[in-house]
Structure 1
Amino acid sequence: MRPGRPGIDRPGDPRDRRGGPGGPCRPAQPLPPGRPRALELGDGGRPAHRPLRPVGVRPATRAGIGDDRVSEVRRRRAVVLVANDAAPYSRGLRIARTLTDLGFAVEIAAVGAPGLPREERDGDIVIRRYEPLGPWASWATGRARSRDPRRLVELAVKGLFWPVHVRGWWLALRRQLAPADLYHACGILAIPIALRLGAAARTDGRAGRVVYDVIDIVLESNSYPGLRGPLLAWHRRRERRWAESSDAIVAVNAAIAERVTERWRPVRPVTVLPNGQEARPVPAERPNLIRAATGLPPERSIVLFLGRLGPERGLDEAAEAVLRLPDAALVVIGFGPWADRLRARDAEPRFAGRHVTLPAVHPDQVQAWAASADVSIIAVPAASLNQRLSTPNKFWESLSGGTPVVVGRDLEVMRRIVEADDLGAVADPNDPADLARALAGILDRPPAAAAALRDRCARVSRETFAWEVVDRDYRALVGALVPAVGPVAGPTTLAPSGERG
């Protein structure tokens, strides 16, 4: 986002015209004699100006320059880039729906996965999955098919060419994805390819604007323990250059927005777009979906865990905490590598009837399932800055259903929200006894106090954090980046939009 900086990284960087692991960029085509050469990324010694073309107006062909023909108008197109299988990805789906409401033709471009269709639809939104291609495709599952048995070689490749597991997806997008006016990159795994796609789209007459959505601060997390020291510092510099080259930055909450502003000092203020849930009326009578699916008796309290099932999610501690309550069950709804392990726990004698694992449900249905629970637990240990500043979907999904939450004491942002309006309780996520204390403090409330708590959770969610409330700044941002235009008659005068690094 800073002018005057080319932002080129090493070979393989998405903006490096020398090419990279995914294959070289197409060489510039020679122009007829007498016409000036177009400025290319990486040129030095003069500023890089990008012409601004009204969105929806096709560029004039060489034969049509100077003609008085009416320019053809086409619908603005947006692509939400999601570096997972989007089966589904709730934040990406909400963003896509907002863009559709703004008049865009929208595609969610996700990663192909076994057992999932190549293409699906959510209303007017196309969800298309792209199978990884090229030499990096074998890394998409996290394991290389290298003939070299040395583990150090694999670790070196993963470190130097991180993120290797999405580079095959990047190549598929470059070859198969149609150009767009707006690329919304969900996270660090999507922003490098978004920048390359945006540059290509501009040569095709599209606006090619790029929004970097900082859904988490991955390089300040424990997700990639192999990235340390100088290697980690180098990748952080790469991310900063990607952010600087974006047209705008969006962050999932104000705390992360402050963090990236401090580190990157972007020209344009960071737009905060929380994971608020789409407002849906809460029925007068609470849904009973969980009891219907599990057969749990009506007198047994339901403690709900939503989301990804894996290590460092507090699942073991939550299970032990529920056993300390007189009559409660932990119901787990989600997906992930621990799904089979948790289903096996369901059958263990000491957890029988006190631990139930259910498959994930569609984002549009989560609110009703959350409303079926008595309390939701987010006992994630704050092992990194990324976790301390997180506000995951499960937090907002629970509140939108009127379900109070118990959160880990070091989850700074969620703790502030919970304590500000008394939306639940706080506990030590590593101590099952303390978690049980916090859960009992909610479950043991008299009926009138419990009903008031649920009403407060739903009201705060609806009035302050509903998607229709929190997406207003994002709508204004998109309107400024890719303004809608009507039919334009005759040739269009193009004005420079300023420098772009």
Structure 2
Amino acid sequence: MRNTASHILHVAQPVEGGVARVVTDLAAAQLAAGLRVTVACPVGGTLTDALRSAGCTVVRWDATRSPGPGLPYEVRQLARLMRAVRPDLVHAHSAKAGLAVRLAVRGRRPTVFQPHAWSFEAAEGLVARSALGWERFGARWATRVVCVSEAERRTGERHGITATWRVVPNGVGTGRFRPDGDRAMSGAGPLVVCVGRLCRQKGQDVLLAAWPEVVRRMPGARLVLVGDGPDADRLRRDAPASVTFAGAARSTAAWYRAADVVVLPSRWEGMALAPLEAMACGRPVVVTDVDGARESLPPGRAPSCLVPSEDPAALARALTTLLRDEPLRVALGAEGRAHVLASHALRHVTDAVTDVYRELLGVATAPVVGPNEGRKCITT
């Protein structure tokens, strides 16, 4: 009997930021490896265009970012999509897609859930308790829960979520993110760059609170916030003249290469892509000492690279220390690049996720014939 490639359905919401980049990278790599890949997601954001550029089949799934009164319709729509697409395995990305997929599938086919940071950490009070209660219950309908860091897995276990876990740290394309030495965007004065969605999770408000002290110690220093999000207007109101809001960028590599230091002052993370991308570009990073973020740094990380969360004074000291010490920045940049090449190259991620699929589908690898000859794929 002729072997046929397994069909993977990725379901994603949100459709921008780190989750969109992870889904795009996985889909592109799996297509190149000979798998059949379809992605269901809402319109908007950057995800649909990026997927279609990679040659991926995209189907529309109308879903809001957070649970609401439209959830029953979203689940029914997703169930209809699955009957039409007929995937062998479903991979749900982030809390909203994970909620809808597990309600639609209910364990009737192999299901991978990837939280990309737990939803209950982003909420408070009744909302947080409800989100945690769902994750405890819904774990029974995930054949595997894939976490992007050991810390994310431990957080799930600590909160009473019983699952079959797999940890697959995030990875980045080290060809796309590389130290080209192009500083054309840097201009005059030291430059600090923060890439991330403008929201409470990413902590740009803490960075803006720290920034006047950085400028006092380093006159002429400039800060660029790359990204968009719900806190954009509020953050702009509080920002001094030395801060630039660059908006969402289709490609962030040029901003990393222009920076003297890249910073991500998150309140919580699964494992953010921005520090990995910056290190791949040979730039030193400063991150907060929260789950996932600390795990992205090289072992034996320099104290100047890790600061307490929600501590503007400590953040200002760390940024100033690095801006004043060029040899340290160069050394940390080289160390970070080597760390990403060894532990966070994109191929490591795609291979590890493929191994998860292989386990769940109970299949072996076989050579792909035709244009992709010499690669491997999962076959049934």
TM-score tier, shorter chain, comes to: 0.7 to 0.9
Structure in which a larger fraction of residues adopt helix: 2
* CA contact 2:180–2:257 (8 Å) conserved in 1: no
1:179 CA drift (Å): 1.9
**CA distance, structure 2, for counterparts of residue 173 and residue 73 of structure 1:** 28
Is the alpha carbon distance of 1:101 and 1:164 closer, same or farther for their aligned partners in structure 2, counting shifts above 3 Å? farther
Q: Specify the code of the residue in structure 1 equivalent to 2:346.
A: W
Q: Deviations over 1:62-119 (max 9, x none)?
A: xxxxxxxxx7865421111112234771121222233324422212211234999799
Q: Which residue of structure 1 aligns with residue 204 of structure 2?
A: 315
Counterparts of 1:94-493 in structure 2 under 5 Å? 94-113=25-44, 121-132=52-63, 140=64, 164=69, 166-177=71-82, 178-195=85-102, 197-198=104-105, 208-219=109-120, 221-223=121-123, 225-227=125-127, 232=129, 236-261=132-157, 263-266=160-163, 268=164, 270-280=165-175, 285-288=180-183, 290-291=185-186, 297-298=187-188, 300-311=189-200, 313-324=202-213, 325=215, 326-343=219-236, 351-352=240-241, 354-362=242-250, 365-381=251-267, 387=268, 390-408=270-288, 410-415=289-294, 417=297, 420-422=300-302, 424-446=304-326, 448-482=327-361, 483=363
* CA contact 2:94–2:117 (8 Å) conserved in 1: yes
Q: Is 2:8 aligned against 1:91?
A: no
**CA distance, structure 1, for counterparts of residue 350 and residue 48 of structure 2:** 30
Task: Identify the structure with bigger relative contact order (alpha carbons < 8 Å, sequence gap 6+).
Answer: 1
TM-score (norm 1): 0.63
1:165 CA drift (Å): 5.5
Report the more deviating stretch, 81-90 or 321-330: 81-90
Is the alpha carbon distance of 1:462 and 1:76 closer, same or farther for their aligned partners in structure 2, counting shifts above 3 Å? same
* CA contact 1:112–1:131 (8 Å) conserved in 2: yes
**CA distance, structure 2, for counterparts of residue 119 and residue 379 of structure 1:** 27
* CA contact 1:107–1:125 (8 Å) conserved in 2: yes
1:334 CA drift (Å): 0.6
Q: Deviations over 1:227-264 (max 9, x none)?
A: 26xxx2x6544423322232222111112223334634
Q: Deviations over 1:191-244 (max 9, x none)?
A: 3432455469x7xxxxx321111322212x14254426xxx2x65444233222
Q: Deviations over 1:366-396 (max 9, x none)?
A: 2342122111122234xxxxx2x63222222
**CA distance, structure 2, for counterparts of residue 98 and residue 327 of structure 1:** 43
Q: Any idea what SS the aligned residue of 2:117 has?
A: coil
**CA distance, structure 1, for counterparts of residue 329 and residue 203 of structure 2:** 25
* CA contact 2:259–2:283 (8 Å) conserved in 1: yes
Is the alpha carbon distance of 1:480 and 1:405 closer, same or farther for their aligned partners in structure 2, counting shifts above 3 Å? same
Q: Any idea what SS the aligned residue of 1:190 has?
A: helix
Q: Which residue of structure 1 aligns with residue 374 of structure 2?
A: none
Q: Specify the code of the residue in structure 2 equivalent to 1:179.
A: R
Q: Deviations over 1:160-179 (max 9, x none)?
A: xx554644432322234522
**CA distance, structure 2, for counterparts of residue 117 and residue 414 of structure 1:** 28
State the Cα RMSD in Å.
Answer: 3.3
Q: Specify the code of the residue in structure 1 equivalent to 2:155.
A: R
**CA distance, structure 1, for counterparts of residue 48 and residue 344 of structure 2:** 33
Q: Is 2:9 aligned against 1:79?
A: yes
Percent of aligned pairs sharing the same letter? 21
- The structure with the largest alpha-carbon Rg is 1
* CA contact 1:85–1:129 (8 Å) conserved in 2: no
**CA distance, structure 2, for counterparts of residue 116 and residue 450 of structure 1:** 33
Is the alpha carbon distance of 1:399 and 1:187 closer, same or farther for their aligned partners in structure 2, counting shifts above 3 Å? same
**CA distance, structure 1, for counterparts of residue 47 and residue 359 of structure 2:** 36
Q: Any idea what SS the aligned residue of 2:60 has?
A: strand
In structure 2, runs of 5+ residues without a counterpart are 367-380
Q: Any idea what SS the aligned residue of 1:323 has?
A: helix
1:339 CA drift (Å): 2.5
Is the alpha carbon distance of 1:406 and 1:468 closer, same or farther for their aligned partners in structure 2, counting shifts above 3 Å? same
Is the alpha carbon distance of 1:404 and 1:477 closer, same or farther for their aligned partners in structure 2, counting shifts above 3 Å? same
